[in-house]
Amino acid sequence: MITFAPRRPVGLVHPVHPGPRAAGGVLDLDAATARRWDAGPGDRVTAEVMIGCGRCRYCAKDQPTDPDTSHLCRSGRHLGSDLPGAFAERLVLPPEARVHRIPDDLPRSAAVLAEPAACAVHAVRRAAVGAEDVVVVSGIGAIGACVLGALAADAQRLIRDTGSNVQRALDPRGGGAAPKTIVAAVRSAERAERARALGADAAVDTTRHDAADELRDLAGGYGPDAWIECSGDPDAARLATEALAPGGRLVLCGIYRHRAVVDWNLVAEFKELDVRGAHLAPDAFPTAVRLLAGGAIDASLIATHRHALDDLPAALDPTPGDQARLKAWIDVRGDKPD
């Protein structure tokens, strides 16, 4: 699975074998790993990107019911950077990898979206959305597109029912309700059209000078109640602080290539905004797989381009400005059926 972006935001030590997201069939594993993964040869699975160290305060759980915070591990390893990734005919995973089975009827082109869908579920939980809320989503790439699907009513009920104790503590109102209005913050007509197809009620062009006013008008003049920022664009984070209603919630789940200039008086003194980060996807993979399998997140609108493994160089060099592309998936099996 490939994200189309012109630059890497963080440095990598080369050589690196990329490909952080994968879905496929198990070929072989030992008995202990089979028990750990609840999977065996022939089962179809997907794997989480990060593998925690298993020893630190974030990885260790005193009780099985304790919330999962392993995504906060500072010594974790990542597929496609610290570990060999999925751009290969075979992928070897260590036994401590976090692996999830996927339904037999879920196509690989959808199953490979489990990781961005899980990130979206986590971001939506962090946003603590209520039934009367106006919610803005900026950055309609893979994660932002999955966020739009995760905000739908059926998806929100599932997200609420499968949330961890930590997420419930973040939302004393209960959360888990579809918002009154979903707005996509976009920079092109093509992304606006795609956002509406994915479930947005409205789309606002953030390149307009009056974008903040338009966003406030869509929320009764007060401004949006919540904003989930997935673009990694510092200007989007700045616009969010300007447009959000007093008491609003800003969830940041993009990867930022540049430092953002934010008026902290808007955040604290004038609006008392709640700013939250969202990193990876603790406890969210099973929910994400169910959302993809049930169609709440429409993978066909997100995994827009398919390439064979031999076409990887072309897949990594998309046409600049092609707004029709969200994600490309690399089919290492060629034309073999699922």
**pLDDT reading at 213 higher than 70:** yes
Please, which residues bridge with residue 229 across strands? 138, 252
CATH no. of 123-277: 3.40.50.720
- Residues near 175 by Cβ (< 8 Å), separated by ≥ 6? 125, 128, 129, 130, 160, 163, 167, 168
Residue scoring higher pLDDT (196 or 331): 196
Phi first, then psi: give them for residue 110, nearest 5 degrees.
Answer: -90, -40
Amino acid 336: pLDDT? 52
**Sheet hosting strand 99-101, strand order edge to edge:** 23-25, 44-47, 99-101
Per-residue tokens: 71: 């995504």
pLDDT tens string 175-212: 567 899 999 999 999 999 999 999 999 999 999 999 99
Instruction: State the pLDDT confidence band at 322, using cuts at 50, 70 and 90.
Output: low
Listed in order, the ranges of the chain carrying CATH 3.90.180.10 are 2-114+282-331
In this prediction, residues 268-274 reach a mean pLDDT of: 96
Range name among 12-16, 60-64, 230-234, 253-257 with the lowest pLDDT average: 12-16
Using only the alpha carbons of the chain, give its radius of gyration. 20
Phi-psi region of 295 (alpha: psi -120 to 50; beta: other; left: phi over 0): left
**pLDDT reading at 5 higher than 80:** no
H-only helix segments in the chain: 31-37, 108-111, 114-127, 142-150, 153-161, 165-170, 189-198, 211-217, 234-243, 264-265, 285-294, 312-315
Listed in order, the ranges of the chain carrying CATH 3.40.50.720 are 123-277
pLDDT tens string 228-249: 999 999 999 999 999 999 999 9
Instruction: State the pLDDT confidence band at 6, using cuts at 50, 70 and 90.
Output: very low
pLDDT tens string 145-179: 999 999 986 677 777 776 654 444 445 444 567 89
In this prediction, residues 140-147 reach a mean pLDDT of: 95
pLDDT tens string 27-44: 999 999 999 999 999 999
Alpha carbon separation from 293 to 10, 114, 286, 289, 302 (Å, rounded)? 33, 10, 11, 6, 14
pLDDT tens string 79-91: 988 898 999 899 9
CATH fold label, 2-114+282-331: Quinone Oxidoreductase; Chain A, domain 1 (3.90.180)
Q: Chain-wide mean pLDDT for the chain?
A: 87
**pLDDT reading at 101 higher than 90:** yes
**pLDDT reading at 100 higher than 90:** yes
**pLDDT reading at 66 higher than 90:** no
Per-residue tokens: 233: 């664009």
Model pTM? 0.88
- CA–CA gap between residue 295 and residue 292 (Å, rounded): 5
CA 312 to centroid of chain Cα atoms: 23
Please, which residues bridge with residue 29 across strands? none
- CA–CA gap between residue 35 and residue 29 (Å, rounded): 10
